Structure 1
């Protein structure tokens, strides 16, 4: 394989963690806007601002949990279809790519 070219993910229909964000830009933007609005409203209603910030953080955590769960399902499907007894090069390569995707996702989550 030529230097600098990217290998496809283990499941071609599923982008690797480095190719796509866990949350869409639209989702991220909406959540950021809600948090900014909570911060901006603090002077006029401190308790309501804190409650809204709490709700936004709860929603962010839930969305990330859902996204990671879905990513795990996709990764699991990519390697569960291989036969453990088979030693074919393509199966080994598929497993290697799946492991790489798991590692990338774990590293990404640990950086944040």
Structure 2
């Protein structure tokens, strides 16, 4: 039988470039949505012996949910960041632009370490 304990423990915080949990960073996908996806994956694994095709369809659905959630979150973060700098006065301080650059870098690094 499949051990769901590991699958049901999504990382509460992403890992930094060294593999350690990054303090202060919230997960990209909200915990309730992550829990739902983990349950679907667990159900897919547990039903595989009796219904392999349905199991794979369930796993594919969980994958689709996860990617859709991630795309929605990233699109919103991109929109918010872009609003913060794109239409700014040309006199916008370098410090404000640098903050936006740091936020882009942080999000991109998080994606590269998923």
Q: Which of 40, 49, 64 is matched with 1:34 structurally? A: 40
CA deviation profile, 1:39-68 (whole Å, cap 9, x unmatched): 111111111001110111111111111111
Q: TM-score, normalised by structure 1?
A: 0.75
Show structure 1 runs of 5+ residues with no match.
Answer: 1-17
Q: What pairs up with 1:72-111 in 2 under 5 angstroms?
A: 72-84=78-90, 86=91, 91-111=93-113
1-structure distance, mates of 2:50, 2:56:
12
Give the total of aligned pairs.
91
Cα drift, residue 20 of structure 1: 2.2
Match of 1:50 among 24, 38, 56: 56
Q: TM-score, normalised by structure 2?
A: 0.74
Residue 94 of structure 1 and its aligned partner are, at CA, apart by: 1.1
Write the deviation string for residues 61-87 of structure 1: whole angstroms up to 9, x where unpaired.
Answer: 111111111110011111124212x16
Q: Distance in 2 between matches of 1:63 and 1:28?
A: 9
Structure 1 segments, 4+ long, off by >4 Å, are none
